[in-house]
Amino acid sequence: MRRWKWEIFRASFALLRLHIHDLPLRQNLPGRGGAKMTLRRKSREFALQMLFEWDLGQQKPAQVEKHFWKSAKAVESTRKFARQLFEGAVSQAEENDKQIVKLAKNWKFDRLAAVDRNILRLAIYELRAGTAPVKVVLDEAIELAKKFSSEDAPGFLNGVLDAAAKEIESAE
């Protein structure tokens, strides 16, 4: 490819990456087998990324959000739902962590991978808050694990979250 064609291609690709979050409600993403990504899923990804940063950085949630949104691009509805998830998961982190310890048999909380720990926090918050049906919350958590965690994580998280959903449902 001639140099000038390569430069045009790179510039076009860079523009596409900058505006990917401004696409309509459903968007086809390359590399995911044409899978559709909803803005709610993107919100969950953003919330997970903020939770991860909060967990490892031990910063105040407001600082994490402020820093995160400087570089993340998203439409307002995506930001709003991501903020709701992040702030809710942080506010219930202590209670949810106790539940995770109880349900993750033979696993010490500190030994859980940070990304898995935060997927669990996020999903348990969603189960308690009722932001989506139980099946959707579980499926979305598994998708996050497939994207951000190890190969074994989806099965482990599914088991813990299934038990958490049953426990939460029986408490209501």
CATH (domain of 13): 1.10.940.10
Average pLDDT for residues 124-143, to the nearest whole number?
A: 96
Residue type, 107: W
> What is the domain count for the chain?
1
The domain in which residue 153 lies consists of 3-171
Cα angle value 51/126/80 (rounded, 5°): 65
**Secondary structure E strands in 19-71:** 26-28, 36-38
Average the pLDDT over each of 21-35, 53-67, 96-110 and give the range with the smallest value.
21-35
Q: What is the pTM of this model?
A: 0.77
Per-residue model confidence as pLDDT tens digits over 43-98: 999 999 999 999 999 889 999 999 999 999 899 999 999 999 999 999 999 999 99
Distance CA 63, CA 171 (A): 34
A 10 A CB-CB count for 52 gives 18
